[in-house]
Amino acid sequence: MHRLIALLLLLVLALPASQARADAVDDAYEALSASALTISPASFESVRQGVEQLAASGDPRAAAVIGALHDGLLYAREDNALFIQQPDGTYVDARTGAPAADVTDDDVHTVRVNNAVRSAIDAALGSLQLFAPDAPTRLQAASAVFTSHDPAALPALDKALVKETDSGVRRRMEQARAAALLSSSDASETDRLAAVATLRARGDIDARGFLGSLSGQPPAVAAAAATAIIAIDRQLELWSLLQSVYYGLSLGSVLLLAAAGLAITFGVMGVINMAHGEMVMIGAYVTFMVQQFMHAYLPGLYPASLLFAVPLAFLVSGAIGVVIERSLIRWLYGRPLETLLATWGLSLVLQQAVRSIFGANNRDVDTPAWMSGATQLGGLTLTWNRMYIILFAIIVLAALMAALRFTSLGLRMRAVTQNRRMAAAMGIRTPWIDALTFGLGSGVAGMAGVALSQIDNVSPNLGQGYIIDSFMVVVFGGVGNLWGTTLGALTLGIVNKFLEPVAGAVLAKIVVLVLLIMFIQRRPRGMFPLKGRAVET
């Protein structure tokens, strides 16, 4: 009962308002037809005002009409009635949208526009979208208004703000309103100051640009804008710093993934495996093959292909690693320099083999939909694939540490690497442990290959690009220490990304290499050196 009364009351109150609005709309439509019939400055001015009025009126047909005007499809009859030409050449009534079958080309004239009208149309279209039913369109419209910061959009903005429910869109509209307000000639100083505060809160490069372009403001407002600019600059700097950290972290995780396997084979076993990069490369090719297979036979699972590729790459590279250890490396224990040469030879063979099988060209590995795109976090752009790689690196590292610490294989591995003869005497079959340890390191490299296939070209040379960096990471971090490797990788990644804007990518790399060379000379055993007598000889 109460509801009904309330509704009635509302109707009664709203009636005069809607009546007034209808009048305004009529005027607007009438004004629009002016330039179709006579061409004069006054008629264009009339059209321009018509556009603005119509846009501000909230009339549901406004968007269609002004859009038609924009496209040159709005026509007027002698009696000021307006029609929109359809793509098929027929006409509809502009006011109602009803087909007007009796209207022919001869009856109507194009509503002409000049530059002033055109910019009014653009602004109007922008503000009209403010009332669109879907939020993304409204957001876009608000951004467009912000860019144009045309004071004419103010009424529309005010109206839209009343109705807006989405907080994100609302914020953007307020910012647009602030920009428009500052651009208008008759806003009060308090309003202006509030507007500056709004823009300062927005704090991005656009807000800064707009504030920087302001002129003719009252002194207090100009001062507020100047401080706002400084504040925004500081904030932007912070964001770009964070962005660099993010890039650095993501590069660091890539390095970490590439180096984690090496931390096992080189760091723990002391084997210099120059074919480590090729284990990574093989992992990437496994990803390629898994995708090809799924594409052909299991298209339904295609989006999850990477999840299958990870264990498979681990197994394939790991198995190859075991074979390498049994057939080659075990003959060379204790002869690091010879191992280096032999495994380098092996890397040449593996590269050439892959080249023979798959060709020398890059292979396409898809990034699944759930890994593409990016998300915005404040001023940070976080790309999903990099996020996943960081995550993946963390998981791999954690799994590796757990495997070394908590499994019996891990225990035996550590025993063998610490004192081979003692371990053998205690009944540990050291040859098998060696093979499995090497297989583990290689398998981890294979998993790294899956990740790298997402950000790098899958080609036979894939591994080559990472081998020097990986060794640097392991040596920098301190051999035989996974934490050191982690810290080494992240440090190198971040330093690299911080140098890049200053020095350029290539020079940054050179600088990092030189710094590393100098670092190793200062601390020949890395950040976290192994201690004890074993390392002295």
Partner 1 sequence: MTLERSTYLTLLLVLGGALALAVLNQATDAGSALHVPTYVIALAGKYLCFAMLALAVDLVWGFAGILSLGHAAFFALGGYAMGMYLMRQIGTRGVYGNAMLPDFMVFLGWHELPWYWHGFEWFGFALLMVVLVPGVLALVFGYLAFRSRVTGVYLSIMTQALTYALLLAFFRNDMGFGGNNGLTDFKDILGFNVQADFTRSALLVVSALFLCGQFLLARFVVQSRFGKVLIAVRDTESRTRFLGYRPESYKLVVWVLSAVMAGIGGALYVPQVGIINPSEFSPANSIEAVIWVAVGGRGTLVGAILGAVLVNFGKTWFTGALPELWLYALGALFIFVTLFLPRGVMGLFARRRKLAPEPEVETPATAAAHEVTG
Which one, of 250, 251, 228, lies nearest residue 179 by Cα?
Answer: 228
Q: Does 338 bind partner 1 (CB under 8 A)?
A: yes
Given a contact cutoff of 8 angstroms between Cβ atoms, the answer to whether 29 and 75 are in contact is no
* Least distance in angstroms from the C-beta of 417 to ligand ATP: 17
Q: How far is it, in rounded angstroms, from Cα 179 to Cα 146?
A: 6
Q: Collapse the DSSP code of 132 into the 3-class scheme (helix H, G, I; strand E, B; otherwise coil) and give the result.
A: coil
Q: Does 41 bind ligand ATP (CB under 6 A)?
A: no
**Total binding residues toward ligand ATP, as defined by CB under 6 A:** 2
* Least distance in angstroms from the C-beta of 533 to ligand ATP: 4
Angle of CA points 361, 365, 368, to nearest 5°: 165
* Least distance in angstroms from the C-beta of 530 to ligand ATP: 10
Residues 234-273 touching partner 1, rule: CB under 8 A, are: 272
Nearer of residues 175 and 351 to partner 1, judged by Cβ = 351
Given a contact cutoff of 8 angstroms between Cβ atoms, the answer to whether 178 and 187 are in contact is no
* Least distance in angstroms from the C-beta of 260 to ligand ATP: 28
Q: What is the DSSP string of 283-342?
A: HHHHHHHHHHHHHHH-GGGGGGHHHHHHHHHHHHHHHHHHHHHHHTGGGGTT-HHHHHHH
Nearer of residues 220 and 535 to ligand ATP, judged by Cβ = 535
* Least distance in angstroms from the C-beta of 257 to ligand ATP: 33
Q: How far is CA 225 from the centre of its chain?
A: 30
What character string, x for contact with ligand ATP (CB under 6 A) and - otherwise, covers 515-534? -----------------xx-
Q: What is the DSSP letter of 215?
A: -
Nearer of residues 402 and 534 to ligand ATP, judged by Cβ = 534
* Least distance in angstroms from the C-beta of 498 to ligand ATP: 37
Nearer of residues 341 and 387 to partner 1, judged by Cβ = 341
Which one, of 432, 441, 440, 398, lies nearest residue 412 by Cα?
Answer: 432
Exposed / middle / buried, residue 343 (Cβ in 10 Å: 0-12, 13-18, 19+):
buried
* Least distance in angstroms from the C-beta of 314 to partner 1: 25
Nearer of residues 169 and 508 to partner 1, judged by Cβ = 508
Q: Does 521 bind partner 1 (CB under 8 A)?
A: yes
Q: How far is it, in rounded angstroms, from Cα 176 to Cα 174?
A: 5
Nearer of residues 170 and 355 to partner 1, judged by Cβ = 355
Q: Does 466 bind partner 1 (CB under 8 A)?
A: no
Phi/psi at 128 (5° precision): -65, -35
Given a contact cutoff of 8 angstroms between Cβ atoms, the answer to whether 275 and 346 are in contact is yes
Q: Does 300 bind ligand ATP (CB under 6 A)?
A: no
Q: Does 356 bind partner 1 (CB under 8 A)?
A: yes
Q: How far is CA 509 from CA 60, 273, 493, 515, in A?
A: 59, 23, 10, 10
Nearer of residues 193 and 516 to partner 1, judged by Cβ = 516
* Least distance in angstroms from the C-beta of 413 to partner 1: 15
Instruction: Kindly tell me which residue out of 455, 513, 527, 530 binds partner 1, with binding defined by CB under 8 A.
Output: 513
Q: Collapse the DSSP code of 376 into the 3-class scheme (helix H, G, I; strand E, B; otherwise coil) and give the result.
A: strand
* Least distance in angstroms from the C-beta of 266 to partner 1: 8
Nearer of residues 188 and 419 to partner 1, judged by Cβ = 419
Stretch that binds partner 1, among 117-125, 168-176, 222-230, 340-348 (CB under 8 A): 340-348
Q: What is the DSSP letter of 407?
A: S
Q: Are strands 380-383 and 82-85 parallel, antiparallel or unpaired?
A: unpaired
Nearer of residues 80 and 461 to partner 1, judged by Cβ = 461
Binding residues (CB under 6 A) for ligand ATP: these are 532-533
Q: Residues interacting with partner 1, by CB under 8 A? A: 272, 328, 331-342, 344-353, 356, 419-421, 468, 471-472, 475, 506-507, 509-510, 513-514, 516-518, 520-522, 524, 533-534, 536-537
